[in-house]
Structure 1
């Protein structure tokens, strides 16, 4: 489902504001530690937290659409209260690994609710969420939160301006969106993704110092995932996640024409003078909902380019990746393939 206009009530996000600047005379740069060594220390700290903290599992299960603020993480001096479950041994705790900056990281997800919607975001997409962030190993005070549904691009434009930390890019695709929503004076969501992520510093801000977040901080985010929207950052017809050519969950290391503009923000990926969107083969679908017709299931490598609707008639134009000269290189990445399919329309 498409995201609507960003809600006016938006928190000032400390997660994208640096605590100090190199221009500040009191600024002291923090030396980067070895990522592998830091990950070992971070994982020990996170595991220790998971082995000592509980959450209110029974109470959450009895709630209808609990919110991130309803999730209670608590340590007990003696016997835990009824209804609390130890994080480390709970069935809902998932352990995940990923490679980032040539380092293998382990992170953890408490999946409280999968979400009843049919969509899950890709790592480059836009998400609408609520969240609450805190530091592991402190008094659990919140350093940042969004208490109203708020939009984020998981990957920003260019140098990731407006993007988020790597941990978010890994975690949100594990969840589904809300099953439904109702609009009125407020938007009400039902059966949405809900969970907690436990992230090592290497999947967060690592050596960077931010307001409320010291260098090498391991982070906790309680969150709800409401909606998602597929991103095509350069509007070239290729969804941004598809521009991750080697499936390493990064779009920053692919620059086919070596023009110093990475593919996902380059409208002419192969630099052959024909825009990428025009190197996609066009197809038009007309769906008459008045007759009960359903929208088509698109083929692999076929993507929606435009959509119009009038009097119950939906017209969809798609573009399909093609390899006209059968050299195993898609036309839009092959500088020797210069067919302009837009000229056929």
Structure 2
């Protein structure tokens, strides 16, 4: 699964049109579709899928001795005509998406709904959308085409992945222990298992990657093994999730010193990747106080309501 920001740079599809010799080569720029239009199409497609497919819930409810706790999706038809549709098992999460997230100038903010199925609830803690998580996944299109998968668990810093994916993972608990098998291999016990169904506006939207066409809703089967609580990716002393200043669950759009970075022609770094969040030359770690128990205090020396680490004037 590629980083979202790489894919979002691909915002225009160019088609070469045949032209007469006098006209020279011609091009037609196809503008991106509106978020508000695509979300309706995606919701219809997801609803249709959830109504016509089921998962192997009977095995999860009464696990056979050799059950591997892997989700299997299938169509409700033939011998499976009486199966319970996914729509009865999924939960939903609605997230506001801005056209600016995809470098569009339509000034739209549109609610998008993703769906997630918890087939087995993990016995451990629950990561946030800004934590590093030890996870196994398989990604596919609604038609079943597989576009990505991991053969085993891998560490993912969730903000580096699709917004819908990272926010959905935060709804799953992880496992409770790492045990060693008689053959010397290890496994994570009681890991969370489930599926996530994501509209394109919470994925690649008008971009494409690894065989994923533009405007494609996506399915991810996931197994959540472990996570690092209070992940602090940039090492500035503040857990990444606390650098979500606007509270939308997405730390990639919180950048306190964006104007200053632009002024000095520096690359733009959101706060969760920036060890100096206000670009004042003093590291964030040196503008906060962390006690022996790990509690963080945010001094505000000039009492202007802005803590020192976000205030260039303090």
1:167-206 CA distance string (max 9 Å, x none): 1121011111111112474321111111101111111111
The answer (yes or no) to whether the contact 2:141–2:216 under 8 Å persists in 1 is yes
1:103-128 CA distance string (max 9 Å, x none): 210111111122110x2222122111
Q: Specify which of 327, 333, 345 is matched with residue 310 of structure 2.
A: 333
Structure 1-normalised TM-score?
Answer: 0.72
Alignment of 1:179-328 (within 5 A): 179-183=176-180, 185-229=184-228, 230-257=230-257, 258-260=259-261, 261=268, 262-284=270-292, 296=293, 298=294, 302=295, 319-328=296-305
Q: Equivalents in 1 of 2:58, 2:121: separation in Å?
A: 17
Structure 2-normalised TM-score?
Answer: 0.78
Q: 1:110 — aligned with what?
A: 117
Q: 1:341 — aligned with what?
A: none
Q: Name the count of aligned residue pairs.
A: 277
Q: Equivalents in 2 of 1:197, 1:30: separation in Å?
A: 30
Q: 1:314 — aligned with what?
A: none
Alignment of 1:120-159 (within 5 A): 120-136=126-142, 138=143, 140-155=144-159
Determine if the alignment matches structure 1 residue 53 to structure 2 residue 53: yes
Q: 2:94 — aligned with what?
A: 97
Q: 1:308 — aligned with what?
A: none
Q: Specify which of 174, 178, 185 is matched with residue 177 of structure 1.
A: 174
Q: Equivalents in 2 of 1:39, 1:87: separation in Å?
A: 20
Q: Equivalents in 1 of 2:217, 2:67: separation in Å?
A: 25
The answer (yes or no) to whether the contact 2:71–2:119 under 8 Å persists in 1 is no
Q: Runs of 5+ in structure 2 lacking a partner?
A: 17-27, 99-108, 262-267
Q: Runs of 5+ in structure 1 lacking a partner?
A: 1-12, 156-162, 285-295, 303-318, 338-345
Structure 1 vs Structure 2 CA RMSD: 2.9
- The structural deviation recorded for 1:15 is 7.9
- The structural deviation recorded for 1:269 is 1.8
- The structural deviation recorded for 1:231 is 3.0
The answer (yes or no) to whether the contact 2:163–2:250 under 8 Å persists in 1 is no
Q: Equivalents in 2 of 1:282, 1:148: separation in Å?
A: 36
Q: Which has the higher helix share?
A: 2
